[in-house]
Amino acid sequence: MENIIIAGGGIAGLVSAICLSKLNCHILVIERDQEKDERLNNVNIFESWKRKGVPQFKHNHTYLLSMYKFFSNEHPELVSEFKKHGVNLYHINEMLPAELRSKLIRKTDTDLDMKKINCRRPTLESLLYDYAKSISSINILHNVKVINVLGECNGSSIDVRGVVTIVDGEKKEFLGSVIDAMGQSSKFVSWLEKMTDKPFLKDEQLCNTIYISRHYRLRNGQSELLFKGNRNYSYGTDLGYIRFNLFPNEKGYFSICILIHEREKELFDALKMPELFHKACLSIPEIAPWLESDKSVPVSEPLYFRGMKNRWNIFVENGSLRVKNFYAVGDSHVMTNPWAGKGCAYAMHQAQLLRQSFEKYTDLKMRANFFYQTTLNHLGNIFVMLKKESDYFNELAESDYVNFENNVNLQVLNKKEQGLKYWFLSSYWLAYKVAVMSNPFLMRRIIEENHLIKGYNTHLREIGTVIKVLMYMFKGKRNNLQKVKKKLNGPNKSELSRLLDIKQN
């Protein structure tokens, strides 16, 4: 039986172990943090499970539809656990804006597995951990740190054999296929680089964003349904210089996340303070009803995270594989701006590709080639889009409320190129936006693509989409421009600064 060593027992490590457990192999997960205390239930796990190795452990997390779909199709026992622990599961139709939801005539019983998991990360990780531990082919070691990789350089590629660890103060080697699931601070690339004279390439972009989250809990007797009945029910708003999002989690817990640009230093200093964070949230009409004092209470301080990156570590160069018997899964391979909420689903998707690679190939070179190539094919274009979104956010952060409101106009009209081609493309782009906003099926399709259910942007080339867009195009550019103008719901920068008593620079 083949030995598989998974370095790191976070989300990527656990989902890789669960996916690979369907193969006939021994799986060893090596985790440096302490084990979860068996006596803890999933309510106090949030406070008590010490996860130094995962600095984002207590931050807001939301999970793509593809995760639930995978669990419900392949691990229904895990889904039963989700339900038992009150994890909030949203059908895709509930993710549409209220006005589109009412237009949906599709029967929903055919796509019951199209659900989004909403719960605090420690809850999900704890359920994944318990489930992985219950599988006999998975062995999880705790308090063991991986300190190096074993292998040698053979010409253009490195053959990996295993890892070196520290167990109870002693060095110990483990041999087998190596999966790097050590997250954003994984040292595997630097260890591999020491075996060769050529550095590994990476595609990296600093996000320049600060992510501030705070947890709340609904008071007894309050239910989220109360808010769902509200026509203006929404999970957040984007004001250009600041974004708010609300995540309804399990058992009445919910969290609010604020995203600002690194340049907003005074705003950041204010939002770190619990009362000002709360005050800022109260200024958002869509969020304020959740925060009324008889409805909910804050249960954490504002937590913040900085220095985030979009980063893709490149293990294949000019079509040639640089490392064999080694597979990087999760943040150690592809890390994305947390705002996109894609990191865990990316890890899950890679874990499935990993299983396919092991099922399909015994030859180590072909196996790794397949894994890295399919990862690129499936996730590469979304990564490029996320980098563009980060650029766009940086641009918006320069603007104020008014500019942002007109941003659509700026995007369409401030192009240097002119002429018929430009007229056609900009009109098509606008009509496309209106079509998406007006058609629940098109919007659903885009959600499916963003949530890794269908190939990203594949709808753009379909005749049905083109016809819908052309129909809106005939309604005229001016008309479409009016429709896409953003309706902003919240204070502009000066108003928020006044509210929080911030001096403007």
Ligand X SMILES: Cc1cc2nc3c(=O)[nH]c(=O)nc-3n(C[C@H](O)[C@H](O)[C@H](O)COP(=O)(O)OP(=O)(O)OC[C@H]3O[C@@H](n4cnc5c(N)ncnc54)[C@H](O)[C@@H]3O)c2cc1C
Q: Compare residues 128 and 270 and give the one whose CB is closer to ligand X.
A: 128
Q: Does 250 bind ligand X (CB under 6 A)?
A: no
Q: Does 177 bind ligand X (CB under 6 A)?
A: no
Q: Does 347 bind ligand X (CB under 6 A)?
A: yes
Q: Is 151 left (phi over 0), alpha (psi -120 to 50) or beta?
A: left
**The only residue of 116, 120, 342, 367 in contact with ligand X, by rule CB under 6 A:** 342
The angle formed by the CA atoms of residues 201, 388 and 257, to the nearest 5 degrees, is 105
Q: Does 117 bind ligand X (CB under 6 A)?
A: no
Instruction: Tell me the torsion sign for CA atoms 170, 171, 174, 175.
Output: negative
3-state secondary structure 17-48: HHHHCCCCEEEEEECCCCCCCCCCCCCCHHHH
**The only residue of 91, 133, 145, 217 in contact with ligand X, by rule CB under 6 A:** 145
Q: Does 192 bind ligand X (CB under 6 A)?
A: no
Would you say 84 and 127 are in contact if contact means Cβ atoms under 8 Å apart? no
Q: Does 11 bind ligand X (CB under 6 A)?
A: yes
- For residue 458 the two structure tokens come to 């594949």
Q: Does 13 bind ligand X (CB under 6 A)?
A: yes
Q: Compare residues 55 and 199 and give the one whose CB is closer to ligand X.
A: 55
**The only residue of 176, 338, 440, 490 in contact with ligand X, by rule CB under 6 A:** 338
Question: What's at 118, amino acid-wise?
Answer: N
Would you say 230 and 308 are in contact if contact means Cβ atoms under 8 Å apart? no
Would you say 245 and 60 are in contact if contact means Cβ atoms under 8 Å apart? yes
CA distances from residue 482 to 430, 434, 449 in whole angstroms, order as listed: 10, 10, 27
In angstroms, give the least distance from the CB of 182 to ligand X: 4
CA distances from residue 13 to 6, 160, 182, 326 in whole angstroms, order as listed: 6, 18, 8, 14
Q: Does 211 bind ligand X (CB under 6 A)?
A: yes
**The only residue of 3, 53, 361, 471 in contact with ligand X, by rule CB under 6 A:** 53
Question: Which residues in 446-475 contact ligand X (CB under 6 A)?
Answer: none
In angstroms, give the least distance from the CB of 254 to ligand X: 14
Estimate to the nearest angstrom the gap between the alpha carbon of 351 and the chain centroid.
15
The angle formed by the CA atoms of residues 154, 362 and 25, to the nearest 5 degrees, is 110
Phi, psi of 348 (to 5 degrees): -60, -45
Given the rule CB under 6 A, which of 83-91, 335-343, 411-419, 486-494 is the region that contacts ligand X? 335-343
Would you say 178 and 159 are in contact if contact means Cβ atoms under 8 Å apart? no
Would you say 243 and 496 are in contact if contact means Cβ atoms under 8 Å apart? no
Kindly state the number of chain residues that form the binding site for ligand X, as judged by CB under 6 A.
37
Given the rule CB under 6 A, which of 50-58, 98-106, 196-204, 380-388 is the region that contacts ligand X? 50-58
**The only residue of 6, 28, 42, 59 in contact with ligand X, by rule CB under 6 A:** 59
Given the rule CB under 6 A, which of 61-69, 81-89, 95-103, 407-415 is the region that contacts ligand X? 61-69
Question: Which residues in 363-402 contact ligand X (CB under 6 A)?
Answer: none
**How are strands ordered across the β-sheet holding 334-335?**
202-206, 309-313, 334-335
Question: Which residues in 298-327 contact ligand X (CB under 6 A)?
Answer: 305, 308
Given the rule CB under 6 A, which of 175-183, 192-200, 215-223, 433-441 is the region that contacts ligand X? 175-183
In angstroms, give the least distance from the CB of 16 to ligand X: 9
In angstroms, give the least distance from the CB of 498 to ligand X: 29
Given the rule CB under 6 A, which of 1-9, 277-285, 398-406, 476-484 is the region that contacts ligand X? 1-9
- Among 130, 116, 112, 106, which Cα is nearest to 37's? 130
Which residue's entry shows tokens 């994890």? 87
Given the rule CB under 6 A, which of 52-60, 368-376, 434-442, 459-467 is the region that contacts ligand X? 52-60
Question: What's at 175, amino acid-wise?
Answer: L
In angstroms, give the least distance from the CB of 29 to ligand X: 9
**The only residue of 54, 246, 271, 447 in contact with ligand X, by rule CB under 6 A:** 54
Pairing assessment for the beta strands 242-248 and 253-261 based on DSSP bridges? antiparallel
Q: Does 331 bind ligand X (CB under 6 A)?
A: yes
Q: What is the Cα gyration radius of the chain?
A: 24
Q: Does 10 bind ligand X (CB under 6 A)?
A: yes
In angstroms, give the least distance from the CB of 341 to ligand X: 4
Helix then strand count (H, E) for the chain reads 19, 22
Q: How many residues are present in the chain?
A: 505
Q: Compare residues 63 and 401 and give the one whose CB is closer to ligand X.
A: 63
Given the rule CB under 6 A, which of 181-189, 199-207, 364-372, 392-400 is the region that contacts ligand X? 181-189
Q: Does 268 bind ligand X (CB under 6 A)?
A: no
What is residue 200's DSSP assignment?
P
Please give the residue ranges that form the binding site for ligand X (CB under 6 A).
7-13, 30-33, 53-54, 56, 59-63, 145-146, 181-183, 211, 305, 308, 330-332, 338, 341-345, 347
